[in-house]
């Protein structure tokens, strides 16, 4: 299976107080007004990666204790994302975070199994805040002892 990925880099800001490897998925079908990552709306903004390609990249960042999926819209490639999460959890035991323009309630159970943090909901310019997340409608879910809390 292949995924369309625009870039993979170190991030100090996407998960508060964590060093993370940020995986930017290419392509977004949600298209929020005035999205700040419009250059990633088209799948062609990325390159094809296999799961093994991504795992290899992750191993190049041994100091990072987390991986964050963002984009673009990672859940537009949900089969790839779900398998990638499973493999990272099995091999590297890192914390896994997801930014999605979709709501928590529509995400698949299988995807939720291996995630630890989810920032969800579309970006709404009229609800923009100077903080985190970027608009006040967006919700943050954390998994504690196997249970999700918002
Ligand atoms: S879901 Fe994210 S990438 Fe997609 S349009 Fe909204 S803010 Fe932009």
Q: Among 38, 43, 76, 122, which is best to mutate for testing ligand 1, by the most ligand atoms less than 8 A from CB?
A: 122
Answer whether 0.85 is exceeded by the pTM. Answer: yes
pLDDT per residue rounded down to tens, the chain (150 residues): 899 999 999 999 898 889 999 999 999 999 999 898 999 999 999 999 999 999 999 999 888 999 999 999 999 999 999 999 999 998 878 999 999 999 999 999 999 999 999 999 999 999 999 888 999 999 999 999 999 999
Instruction: Tell me the CA–centroid distance for residue 56 and ligand 1, in Å.
Output: 27
**Which sequence spans correspond to the domains of the chain?**
2-149
Question: Taking a C-beta distance cutoff of 8 angstroms, is the pair 9, 23 a contact?
Answer: no
Q: Which among 134, 97, 19, 126 has a CA at the least distance from the CA of 9?
A: 19
Nearest CA to ligand 1 atom 6: 32
Domain 2-149 has CATH 3.20.20.70: yes
For residue 11, the SS3 value is strand
Instruction: Tell me the CA–centroid distance for residue 72 and ligand 1, in Å.
Output: 6
Pocket around ligand 1 at a 6 A CB cut-off: 28, 30-32, 35, 37, 71-73, 101, 122-123
Residues 6 or more apart whose CB falls under 8 angstroms from that of 13 comprise none
- Residue 80's H or E segment, with its range, is helix 78-92
CA distance 48 to 34: 27
């Amino acid at each position: 299976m292949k995924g369309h990925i625009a870039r993979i880099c170190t991030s100090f800001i996407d998960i508060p107080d964590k060093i993370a490897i940020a995986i930017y998925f290419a392509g977004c079908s949600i298209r929020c007004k005035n999205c700040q990552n419009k250059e990633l709306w088209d799948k062609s903004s990325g390159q094809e990666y296999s799961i093994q390609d991504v795992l290899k990249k992750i191993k190049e960042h041994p100091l990072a204790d987390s991986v964050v999926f963002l984009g673009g819209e990672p859940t537009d490639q949900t089969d790839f994302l779900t398998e990638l999460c499973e493999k990272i959890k099995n091999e590297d035991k890192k914390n896994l975070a997801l930014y999605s323009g979709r709501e928590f309630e529509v995400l698949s159970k299988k995807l939720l199994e291996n995630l630890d943090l989810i920032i969800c909901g579309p970006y709404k310019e009229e609800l923009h805040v100077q903080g985190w997340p970027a608009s006040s409608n967006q919700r943050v879910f954390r998994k504690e002892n196997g249970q999700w809390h918002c």
